Amino acid sequence: MIEQLRSQLEQINLAISKIESGAQEYKIGGSRSVRRGELATLYKERRQLQTELANYENSGGMYAVAFYR
């Protein structure tokens, strides 16, 4: 479960990074377009995953989470 959470967090961080660098939407072959998720939604999901991961890593004890934007 921890590895799955880490993988999801890594994917969300990558999506956020790409959007922040200007890759929110792009076209493929002129007829198809791809739009990445909204930043606010991705930030919210990242916070949730970071909290879940901290809970698993610390066995439900006290924990600290760093939120990066």
Q: For residue 65, is it within any domain?
A: no
Look at residue 62 and tell me if it is in a domain: no
Instruction: Map residue 68 onto helix, strand or coil.
Output: coil
Report in angstroms the alpha-carbon separations of 11 from 16, 27, 32, 42, 51.
9, 21, 23, 10, 16
What pLDDT is attached to residue 18? Answer: 84
Write out the residue range of the structural domain in which residue 48 sits.
2-57
- Which pTM value belongs to this model? 0.66
Residue predicted with more confidence, 4 or 69: 4
Residues 13-69: pLDDT tens digits?
Answer: 998 888 888 777 767 777 777 676 788 899 999 999 999 999 888 875 555 677 777
In this prediction, residue 6 carries a pLDDT of: 93
Domain assignment present for residue 12? The answer is yes
CA distances from 27 to 16, 30, 34, 52 (A): 19, 6, 6, 35
Q: Which residues contact 2 (CB under 8 A, 6 or more apart)?
A: 53, 56, 57
Number of domains in the chain: 1
